[in-house]
Amino acid sequence: MSRESRAHVLASGGVEAPFLELLARGASADAYEQPVLLARAEGLPPERVAALERAKLLALGVRSEMEGRRRREAELSALFETAHDLAGLRDLDSVLRAIVQRARSLLATDVAYLSLNDPERGDTYMRVTEGSVAARFQQLRLGMGEGLGGLVAQTARPYVTDDYFEDARFRHTMTIDAGVRDEGLVAILGVPLMLGPHVIGVLFAADRRARVFEREQIALLGSFAALAAAAIDTTNLLTETRSALADLERANEIIQDRSGVIERAAEVHDRLAELVLRGGGVHDVAAAVSRILGGTVEFTEADATPGAALEASRAEGHAVRHRDDWVAAVAAGGELLGALVLRARPGLDPVDQRTLERAAMVTSLLLLARRSAAEAERRVRGELLDDLLDARHRDPRLLRERAARLHADLDAAHVVLAARIDGPPADADQEAAARRRLWSAASHLAATRHGLAAARDGGTVLLLPLTPDVTATELARRTAVHLGTAVHEAVTVGASAPVDDLTARPDTVATAYAEGRRCLEALRLLGRTGDGAAAEDFGFLGLLLAGDRDVTRFVERTIGEVIAYDERRGTELLRTLDAYFACGMSPVRTKDELHVHVNTVAQRLERVGRLLGDDWQRPDRLLEVQLALRLRRLSSPIRS
């Protein structure tokens, strides 16, 4: 268009026409100033010049938007092509080289390069370069944390420097600086290659002149870095897949050769799974493996297993041979729980050995599960007993419901037992461990007897139901033996008198516990450590031990048979006993006191002997009988 034509257009009001022409032919930004300058030179009205200025700005905005779209299209096309290369990945080097080439082209930099971390050597190295001319730069190996790449790896964030040698934010080294100087680089942009949370390398774009990288360019290089990391990850997966396929091929050959062995392994798995699902125990596992292996498999405690073989099995994680047996440690973490021992099978193929090892692992899981459940139940039982001992205002109904969930009946007759270890002096750690063993054994006993147990006062308190055929004394002695055997130390147990309806009176359990503790202390003072007893075992001393001073019960226990006989028959055995003791146990003086024949006194005393037992005149029994007679007289109402 000639100058005359342009002036005509400007004068006629089509201010946007020259700018549309410039947009159509993709003119440079400087060319958009020409229509405005021409209008001013030709003296057009100011409103025309202003309209041209506005049209110019709009045209430049459209031009910028078009260039941005073209740039984004080019970037997206490059990313798409790279993703396509990645989808058809055959050669990692080719894909990484294509990524570096496209990054250099789109960012219009002099050089682009990619470094990867080498975990074995603990450094990083150049993997791909594009546009590099310096051999030393192309062969750089850098220590971790050095240079701009080290800063990117440490922060896992992009980093850019406008002037590499003047930037003090990262650690310069002679090796890196020499390589960068050989290449002539000034402005460098680095973005991390991420696999999950880990930096595996850095993708760089660099110029040999000072330059400010825009945010869009940093984001674009980050996208290429993500594709590079995906390519590396895909290659690793392909390598692992090929390795796995090779392993599978070898395994398939083994399977084809050993199909019968695999069927037996499947049977092991099915049986063990079935055992676990239906709640089987360790001995069920041993029995099942015995049938599968055609031998005898036993679960043994750690202290009953050959120590060297057990330790070797735990250390190696495999079953080991011990003479003609095989030992597989049953362990959890660092704790030995026992062992599975296959008897008299010196020859054991690898699959059968693995079967024994797998059974040992299942056994350890069963033991841990049972232990966890037992510990939880012990805590619940201990909390309930603590509430019975301490919380005097608990709702009886709630207490009964909690006890019912533990299969305990608080309305039935129970005995409260105080137990304590009476072993040799030990340090604090040993004493604490012994107390834990005692509490564990007591809790197990309480669970099996539908009772309760809790740790208290340096020992353990138990609340156990009392059956009609067992006395409190017998229960105390049995408990002492049971707990002593369990903890391998002497355990002394003091028992209360039987109590029932434990929720009716708030102080019932606490009072019975105090009585049991007094019996425990009496046993220890008498040198009867490792034994068990109740207040009734101490005769009249039991009155001092009993918390409620149950005189009536003491009298009933001591001479109740004689009282009942007199009441049934109308005899005077009690009167005879009173006279007998008052007369110094002389039958002759007694017959004078009673005004009866001496033979009558002898017959009555013989009857007393049949009712109280042949040893009733033993000194300690005589003392109790006399005390019972005295207490009966004192507790009887005075007759006028």
Q: pLDDT tens for residues 381-402?
A: 667 777 778 866 677 788 777 8
Q: What are 476-513's pLDDT values in tens digits?
A: 999 999 998 888 889 999 998 898 888 777 678 888 88
Stretch among 67-81, 538-552, 604-618 having the lowest mean pLDDT: 538-552
Report the pLDDT averaged over residues 454-463. Answer: 88
**Residue count (the chain):** 640
What is the per-residue pLDDT across 184-231, written as a single tens digit (0 to 9) for each?
Answer: 999 999 999 888 888 889 999 999 999 888 888 888 888 888 888 887
Cα R_g (the chain), whole angstroms: 49
pLDDT for 506: 64
AA identity, residue 99:
I
Give the integer Cα–Cα distance in Å for 221 and 102: 10
Whole-number pLDDT of residue 640: 32
* pLDDT of the residue at 207: 94
Query: Rounded distance, CA 120 to CA 141, Å?
Result: 13
Asked if residues 234 and 86 have their Cβ atoms less than 8 Å apart, the reply is yes
d(CA 94, CA 235): 12
- The answer, as to whether pTM is greater than 0.85, is no
Closest C-alpha to 363, from 282, 481, 456: 282
Q: 597 in helix, strand or coil?
A: coil
Spatial contact of 269 and 305, defined as CB atoms under 8 Å apart: no
pLDDT for residue 436 is more than 80: yes
Q: In the beta sheet, which residues pair with residue 416?
A: 463
At 44 the pLDDT is 85
Q: What is the pLDDT of residue 265?
A: 60
Is residue 620 within 8 Å of residue 612, measured between CB atoms?
no
* pLDDT of 639: 41
- Give me the residues paired with residue 193 across strands: 201
> How confident is the model at residue 4, as a pLDDT?
47
Helix, strand, coil abundance in the chain, percent, nearest 5: 60, 15, 25
Is the per-residue pLDDT at 573 higher than 50? Answer: yes
Pairing of strands 459-465, 414-421: antiparallel
Please say whether the beta carbons of 516 and 494 come within 8 A.
yes
Averaged confidence pLDDT in the chain: 80
Nearest CA among 283, 460, 483, 268 for reference residue 370: 283
pLDDT in tens, 61-102: 776 676 666 665 565 565 556 565 665 656 778 878 888 888
196: left (phi > 0), else alpha (psi -120 to 50), else beta? left
Range scoring the smallest mean pLDDT among 81-95, 146-160, 580-594 = 81-95
Which residues touch 118 (CB under 8 Å, ≥6 apart)?
124, 125, 141
pLDDT (mean) for 516-525: 80
**CB-based contact 571:582 (threshold 8 Å):** no
Dihedral pair phi/psi, residue 2, rounded to 5°: -75, 170
**Per-residue pLDDT band at 12 (split at 50, 70, 90):** very low
- Type and span of the H or E element at 357: helix 350-390
Q: How many C-alpha atoms does 574 have within 13 Å on its Cβ side?
A: 21
CB 418 within 8 A of CB 513: yes
Q: Which of 68-82, 281-295, 446-460, 598-612 has the lowest mean pLDDT?
A: 68-82
